[in-house]
Every structure is written in C-alpha cells, then in structure tokens.
Amino acid sequence: MTLNTIAQHVKHAATTTRGKIAGGAALLMGSAAAHAQTTGAETAFSEVQAAGADMAGYAWPVVASITAALIGIKLFKKFANRAS
C-alpha cells in the first residue's frame, strides 16, 4: 500500500458515521484519562480540609470549657443574689 492509498482509507473512515463515532469515543477516552490525574489544586484542597478538621478537633475542648465557665458564673450570680 502506498501512502496515498492509506490517506484515502483514513479519509474515508473519518467521514463515515462509524468513523466519527469511533473518533469521538477515542477523544472522550483520552480526555477522561487526562482529567483523571490529580492536580496540585486537589491536593491543596484536601490538605486544607484535613487542617480544618484538626483545628475543629482542637477547638471543642475550649468551647466546652468556656460554656461550663459561663454556666458556672450565671449560677454563682443567681445564688449570690438570693443569699443577699
């Protein structure tokens, strides 16, 4: 086969409906494979999410102690006002 004959076969295959479907499917598969790789932005967002979860875990004991202190102060004021 000559190069001209191969070019004619490729042109004919690309212009038929089956050729267009096959070409489109090949492009979609290539696009999906290219986008499936993790990017730097995805890695950065997952690191920020993990850091946020850690910070929320550190904040709960502080919130609980502040809430307990506020309740204690209110109770002390209530009993101090009744005693006087």
Per-residue pLDDT tens for 33-82? 666 666 677 788 888 999 989 998 999 999 999 999 999 999 999 988 88
Do the beta carbons of residue 53 and residue 60 sit within 8 Å?
Answer: no
Write out the two tokens for 22: 């096959």
Angle at 2 (CA atoms; ends 17, 22), nearest 5 degrees? 20
Instruction: Decide which of 18 and 45 is more confident.
Output: 45
Question: What is the model's pTM?
Answer: 0.42
Model confidence at 1, in pLDDT bands (50, 70, 90)? low
Backbone angles phi and psi of 59, in degrees to 5: -80, -30
